[in-house]
Amino acid sequence: MTDSPKDIWSQWLLHRRFGGNPEQMKKMFDSLYPVRDKVLSHVSLEKDETLLDVGCGDGLIAFGALEKFECQVIFSDISDDLLQHAESLAQKMNLQDRCRFVHASADDLSAFEDESIAAVITRSVLIYVSAKQKAFDEFYRVLKPGGQLSIFEPINRFGFPEPPDRFGGIDVTPVMDIVQKLRDLYDRLQPPDTDPMTDFDERDLLTQVEKAGFEEIHLEYQAAIAPFENTNWFELIRTAGNPKIPSLEEAMEQVLTPEEREKFIGYSRPRVESNKRSKRSAVAYLWAVK
């Protein structure tokens, strides 16, 4: 794998999403395995049929499919670094004969012929795709008649934008002027009304997959409001929420003065460590048959 600093996807998936902390990485994967299993539970493959993992990332679901089924798996992603990483893992696991690795984006699967794939899966991919309808059209096109689609997507619109007096689930009324600088930075990078991470909800997914031509469609929506589980201040500030934004620690360095950082940390850290914050989260599982 190359170490190109321009590949934000591999840098985030392999390092920045868990702050470089191995223990945090283990906790993260422990939380993702049930997601992987649920996505795969909605497809069924015969021996040598082909599954396409769109936006395969580090290969979490694709490798799960290789273990669950006697199928062929195509790893596709826009990151060459991640494809190289997955290919290296496949070789170490002696699975390379059942794998292909293809550079492709979700909304342009022209590398694949019409009706050539038995199942398409994605996890947390469409949140980075502006042309979601085009992506669903492509999924439909490459699937064989009777082919299966199974996806998982966070529904970020449920929790964002936060109320003006909240930041990271904390009541920040006493430090609103400082927090506004941080919020402005994140909003510039990902405008809440137009960024693909927040420009849709579960109903949009249902409408788009139906418009693509799928007739049998199922959607399961899960939402929760609960206390944050992570009360480790340093894990919190050193973990980037997604590939396109800085960690909180990086954001503070960028837009706050030393005095403002001291004041913000002095106020926020005790509230994080005493778990005085709540989280709104929602996800959707969608599966369909062509």
Q: 2: pLDDT confidence band, cut at 50, 70 and 90?
A: very low
Q: What is the pLDDT of residues 100-123, one digit of tens each?
A: 999 999 999 999 999 999 999 999
Mean per-residue pLDDT, 269-289: 90
Q: What is the mean pLDDT of the chain?
A: 90
**pTM of the predicted structure, to 2 decimals:** 0.87
**Greater confidence, 182 or 18?**
182
Q: Contact at 8 Å (CB) between 74 and 50?
A: yes
Q: Is pLDDT at 16 greater than 90 in this prediction?
A: no
pLDDT digits (tens, 9 = 90+) for 53-72: 999 988 999 999 999 999 99
Which whole number is the average pLDDT over 187-204? 91
CB 95 within 8 A of CB 67: no
Residue 10: its pLDDT value, please? 73
List the domain boundaries for the chain: 1-156+198-228+278-290, 161-191+229-274
Class of domain 1-156+198-228+278-290: alpha beta
**Residue 1 pLDDT greater than 60, yes or no:** no
Quote the CA–CA distance of 276 and 289 in Å, as a whole number: 44
DSSP string computed for 177-246? HHHHHHHHHHHHHS-TTTSTTTS--HHHHHHHHHHHT--EEEEEEEEEEEE-S---HHHHHH--SSTTS-
Cβ-contact 135, 116 below 8 angstroms: no
CB-based contact 39:152 (threshold 8 Å): yes
